[in-house]
Homo-oligomer: A and B are copies of this chain.
């Protein structure tokens, strides 16, 4: 069963088992699940109506349309995480300050005034350190979904804005953001490197341009900034072709990210990688390259599980 954008699926199970609707409302995407009391997914609905879309079109109509797709029973409670709770979102859910116990932040969910259901938005988390100010919205719910298995762990959550997080006995201790995904998009589409990069080219973790660049970025992240122009220069001088560009840039940026993070969080030999699809493959390769033991958790599963646990603490 494959799931694509803007589609919905409903399981054959009776919707009467439904316990809550769980929503991951990001900047540029919307995902909702109808969950059973035991956490099982009864139905799913996805669309491109992220916060950016809803700022102009409104949030409630988007949610209502997806509830119809989910065939969600009326009056079911709805729990939302992500950018819907930003200041420019639907209703602001003020940040909880780090360090914080992950199982506590659900109690800080903010109610959304409306006439049809108990709708709450989970808060994000802020690190109010003037030397390393940080915020997250959505990732905290994935972290909750990881469960309390390991006493102390480093978590890598790649994306437009990658988050690296230290968890300890169920507490989120500290975190850092790396704009790796956004830098890749900016450089590959809008910079002079765009001439050297084929948009949307697919490459594997065995692509030489990726591996060579990974070594450069990871051997010396300090110099990653000095290597970016090499994506173009390598082609001008005949060492690589345009089909190598995306892999080269990706390797430099991911390599620099994982080693910068390794230096930022030095006392970890293991890392939990929360990611999906080809991004997970690229990061696994990079993390192993810098000597980390990788445990992979699917990002979709993590956020759904986090929403379920938070909903359970509120309404079970």
Contact = CB atoms under 8 A, between A and B. Distances in A.
Contacts of A128: 237
A86 B256 CA distance: 31
Query: Helix, strand, loop or mixed for chain A's interface?
Result: helix
A161 B227 CA distance: 12
Enumerate the 8 nearest inter-chain pairs by beta-carbon distance, A residue then B residue, closest first. A177-B229, A133-B233, A186-B186, A221-B222, A133-B234, A222-B222, A130-B239, A176-B226
Interface in A177-218: 177-180, 182-183, 186-187, 190-192, 216
B180 A225 contact: yes
Contacts of A186: 186-187, 190-191
A283 to B, nearest CB: 15
A230 B128 CA distance: 11
A168 interface: no
A179 B228 contact: yes
A134 interface: yes
Interface of A: 126-128, 130-135, 161, 176-180, 182-183, 186-187, 190-192, 216, 220-226, 228-230, 233-234, 236-237, 239, 256-257, 259-261, 263-264
Nearest to A86: B236
B237 A133 contact: yes
Contacts of A228: 178-179
26 contacts: A126-B236, A127-B233, A131-B216, A133-B234, A133-B239, A134-B229, A134-B230, A134-B233, A161-B192, A161-B229, A176-B226, A177-B230, A178-B226, A179-B191, A179-B192, A179-B225, A179-B229, A182-B191, A183-B225, A190-B190, A221-B222, A223-B263, A224-B225, A225-B257, A226-B260, A226-B264
Nearest to A164: B226
Contacts of A134: 229-230, 233
A275 to B, nearest CB: 18
Q: How many copies make up the complex? A: 2
A177 B180 CA distance: 20
Nearest to A189: B190
A140 to B, nearest CB: 15
A125 B13 CA distance: 68
B222 A260 contact: yes
Contacts of A261: 226
Contacts of A256: 225
Contacts of A260: 222-223, 225-226
Contacts of A176: 226
A233 B263 contact: no
Contacts of A182: 191-192
A264 B128 CA distance: 34
A186 to B, nearest CB: 5
